[in-house]
Amino acid sequence: MRERWTDHRSRSLATLLVVLSVAMLPAGAVQSQDKGPIVIAVPVGLSGVNSVVAPAVVQSGELAVEEINAKGGVLGRKLQLVPLDDESGPAGAVKAFNTAIRQHKAHTIITMETSAARNAGAPIAERAKTLFIYTSFYEGRACGKSLFINAWVPEQIVPPLIKFMTDDKKVKKWFALGSDYAFGRGMIEAAKSTIKGVGGTILGEEYQPLQQSDWTAIISKIRAANPDGIIYSTSGGGPNIDFMKQFKAAGLKMPVGSLSIDELTAEAGGDAAEGVYYTGDYFTGLDNPENRKFLDAMRKKFGAGLKTPNSLSEPEYDGVYAHAMAVEKAGTTDVDKLVQVLPTIVFKGPRGQVQMNKQHHASLPVYLAQVQANGKTKVLKSFGLVDPGNQCPSLK
């Protein structure tokens, strides 16, 4: 820009003035914004299907913001967290993203959402040149210039679990089942391709409608097939417990790997899910200094109102930190600069080391866990950093 301008010195004074005044406009706007806080919007499912987990997401974000502000903020500016309700769906997400960008002048959106809500919101953030860090595990392959993801995709969670059950539990013949919806089927597809890769066979594959809570027919099929082990992926929450209760009441005893259970659900189910193996990137029982510090700080800040942190809520904390570090390093909230800088940021948080440098996705520490007799989850071992694979080949 500057070179061309010097080439045209002979232009009239009037043109020069027009150019100068136009050039001044955005500079003035940036300056006035520089004084205020850096606004991070969190459009999350405060109502609807995500309303169980949404409060925990907001709490994770609030803690990160409080900690960063206590140390003087970023570039001398405070961070401000604005939680918004995306109603767990695309229509609500469109409203929430527009409110975040137009009304709250959000610099960045950092949130956990349903995939439908993310797909609706991401283009709005992209058009408004707003950085969007998505903190929910999901089915994979969501790509955008200003979209970054710091949670797991199936490639990171499924193969370690299948390989563990094959090697340590000697499962060769499998029975795969799930709830009949995109994510459940996607996870089972990933499991099947891993099973084939390690030389296992699949004796049966069954899906159950989302509303149906009686697993009788599928359980009878499992009994008839008599597999060495089970891999399942229901929809989140209750269906995990429905299936496990009925599975056990039927007297079946083979090892079970779950692609859909989480700590809160397992605990709510008491002994129903005892023995179930599952993999994940975050567990409250992770024994590292960052996680202990995180959990202590959460307990101190929220006391009795604390919503138990989990693998859907903790990445929000990492996301706010990674964003703050990127802004500090870039010296600006300008999205084009942040997109360059963010992949170079390494944040060592409660999950372990997280860096969003794999086509806007992150290699993540993956752990194996097992549900205990009291419903609590015990972390058995770590698989180290697991690569997300080729998620967005068109992005660097």
Partner 1 sequence: MFTTQLLDVVTTAGVLYIVALGLLIVYGVLKIINLAHGAFLAVGAYAGVVTTGLGWNPWTALLVAFVIGVAGAALVEWRVLRGLYARPMDTILATWGLNIIVVQLITLYFGREIRFAESAIGRAVNIGGATYSEYRLVLLLLAVVLGVGVWLVMQRTQIGIVARAVIMNEELAQALGINTRLVRFVTFGLGAGLAALAGALLTPLVSVHPNLGVPWLINAFMLVLVAGVSLLNLALAALVLGGAQVLVSSYGNPVLGSLTIVILAVIILRFRTITI
Considering the complex, state which of residue 206 and residue 228 has its C-beta at the smaller distance from partner 1. Answer: 206
In one-letter notation, the amino acid at residue 380 is L
* Nearest to partner 1 of 88, 130 (CB atom): 88
Interacting residue with partner 1 among 269, 280, 319, 343 (CB under 8 A): 269
Least CB distance from residue 208 to partner 1, whole Å? 5
> Would you mind telling me the total number of residues written for the chain in this entry?
396
Residue 223 or 301 with smaller CB distance to partner 1: 223
Strand partners, 365: 385
- If the CB atoms of residues 32 and 211 are measured against partner 1, the closer one turns out to be 211
- Least Cβ distance, residue 221 to partner 1 (angstroms): 7
Q: How far is the CB of 391 from partner 1 (least distance, A)?
A: 30
Q: Which residues from 215-254 bind partner 1, rule CB under 8 A?
A: 216-218, 220-221, 223-224, 237-239, 241-242, 245-246, 248-251
Q: Is residue 268 involved in binding partner 1 (CB under 8 A)?
A: yes
Compute the least distance from the CB of residue 52 to partner 1, in Å.
5
Q: Which two tokens stand for residue 241?
A: 């417990």
What is the spatial distance between Cα 193 and Cα 367, in angstroms, rounded to a whole number? Answer: 21
Q: Which stretch binds partner 1 (CB under 8 A): 203-211, 255-263, 295-303, 317-325?
A: 203-211
Shortest reach from residue 215's CB to partner 1, in Å: 8
- Could you identify the residue written with the tokens 């959106």? 109
Type of residue found at 136:
S
Does 181 participate in binding partner 1 (rule CB under 8 A)? no
Q: Which is nearer to partner 1, 211 or 394 (CB)?
A: 211
Write down the least CB distance from residue 253 to partner 1, Å: 10
Q: Which of residues 44-63 bind partner 1 (CB under 8 A)?
A: 51-52
Cα–Cα dist 354/356, whole Å: 7
Which uninterrupted H or E stretch holds 354?
strand 352-358
Determine which residue in the list 180, 290, 328, 334 makes contact with partner 1, applying CB under 8 A.
180
Structure-block tokens of residue 74: 């970023």
Instruction: State the nearest-atom distance from the C-beta of 211 to partner 1, in Å.
Output: 4
DSSP single-letter state for residue 32? H
For the four alpha carbons of 236, 264, 139 and 62, in that order, the dihedral sign comes to: positive
Given a contact cutoff of 8 angstroms between Cβ atoms, the answer to whether 279 and 157 are in contact is yes
Q: Count residues binding partner 1 (CB under 8 A).
A: 35
| Residue 130 contacts residue 146 (beta carbons within 8 Å) | yes
> To the nearest 10°, the Cα dihedral for 275, 281, 283, 287?
110
Nearer to partner 1, 169 or 245 (CB): 245
CB atoms within 10 A of CB 4: 7
Question: CB-wise, 52 or 203, nearer to partner 1?
Answer: 52
Q: How far apart, in whole angstroms, are the C-alpha atoms of residue 39 and residue 174? A: 49
Outline where DSSP puts E strands in 26-151: 38-44, 79-85, 108-111, 131-134, 147-149
Q: Contact positions toward partner 1, by CB under 8 A?
A: 51-52, 180, 206-209, 211-214, 216-218, 220-221, 223-224, 237-239, 241-242, 245-246, 248-251, 264-265, 268-270, 272
